[in-house]
Amino acid sequence: MPSPFGLLAELTYRCPLACAYCSNPVNLTEYSDELTTEEWQRVLSEAADLGVLQCHLSGGEPLVRRDLVEIVATAHDLGLYTNLVTSGLGFSRRRAERLFDAGLDHVQVSVQADEPVLADRIAGLPAFRRKLDAMRLVKEFGRPLTVNVVLHRGNIDRVAELLELAEAAGADRVELANTQYYGWAWRNRAALLPSRAQLDAAEAVVRAARERLRMEVIYVLPDYYSRYPKPCMGGWAARQLTVTPTGDVLPCPAAHTLPLPRASVRADSLARIWAEAPVMTAFRGTDWLPEPCRGCDRREVDFGGCRCQAFQLTGDAARTDPVCHLSPDHDLVVRAVEAANDDAVSPPPPVPRRRVRS
C-alpha cells in the first residue's frame, strides 16, 4: 500500500461567497465544531509521518481561520509544501506578510469570470477587484501563483479572456476546471452543464493558448462529455486524503456523501485510518470492481471511475461510473447531456449556495 502524497486540509467550510457550483457539503451547519489549532497541528504531524509531502489548505475560505498563520508555520516546520487555496478575500498585505514569513509556498486564487459584473454575480458579492489585489500581492512577494476557474455554462464562453486575465496577473499556472457535480453544483446541474458547442469552442482556445503562453495551462475535461471516466484521485485512497473541518478523514472531498462508516482524527490516528478504516479500504485497488470494469483493460487506468459520481447518479457507490460508455447506467448521463444541448429548453437560473460566516 503506497503512502499518501497529498493532504487536502479543509480548515473550514465558512465562506463569504455564494457560488452556485460549490461542491462542499450542502448541510454546512453540521460542520461548526471545527478542529482546534492544536488538533490541526497534530494532524499535520501525523500526515508528515505518514509520508505526505504536499499540504493544500482549503475550505470554504481558509483565511477566516484566525490561526491560519500558526497552521502554515507548523506545516512548514514539518517540511510540507504548503498551498493556500483561497478566494482572495481577506488576503491583505499584512496577512500575506505573516503567511509568507511563516513559510507559505504557493497561493491558488479562484476567479469566477474575467470581468467584474459577471464575476461578482457568480460569486454572490463584489469580490472581483479584491481577487485581482490578492493576485498582485502574491506576485509582489515573489511567490508562485495559480489562477483557478471553475467552468460552467455561464462563463465557459470567456475562456480566452480568462486566460488573458491570468497572463496579465503573472500567473505561473492556470487551472480551467469544468464543474464537478456534487453539493450545490449537483442541485444546479441543469443550469451549469455547458453545451457541446461551448466545449468544442473552449477546447480550441485552450489548445492554441498552450502553444502560445509560457504559463502552464491545465484544462480539466467535463466528465459528462467523456467516453471514459477519469480515475478517482489516482485511485480510491491511493495517493490523496482529505480531512474535513470537523476531523473526518476521506479519500476525496466529495466522499462525505457516501454511506460509509466515518473515521475521525478525533478518535484514531491518521496512519491507522489510512491503512484500516472502511472509508479508505472500501474501493481501494481493483478487487471490488463490478462488471464490465472487472474484465476491462482500463481497470488499472480509471478504477471504475468516480465512486461519488456513481453514487450520486445511481444510489450505489459500487456501480460503474455512468460516465463510461460501457456502463449499464450510461443513459443517465446521455439524458443530461441531451437536455444541455436542447436549444428549445432554457436552463433554469442557478440557486446560489447559502453563505456560512464566522
In degrees rounded to 5, what are phi and psi of residue 59? Answer: -165, -140
Taking the C-alpha atoms of residue 16 and residue 173, their distance in angstroms, rounded to an integer, is 25
Which amino acid, 214?
A: R
Q: Pick out the residues of the known binding site.
A: 15, 19, 22
Quote the cell numbers at residue 44: 499535520
Which residues does 336 contact at the CB level (< 8 Å), separation at least 6? 189, 193, 224
- Pairing outcome for strands 6-10 and 145-151: unpaired
Residue pair 62/31 in contact (Cβ under 8 Å)? The answer is: no
Residue 146's SS3 state is: strand
Q: Pick out the residues of the known binding site for [4Fe-4S] cluster.
A: 15, 19, 22
Residue 195 DSSP one-character state:
P
Quote the cell numbers at residue 77: 516546520
Quote the cell numbers at residue 215: 504559463
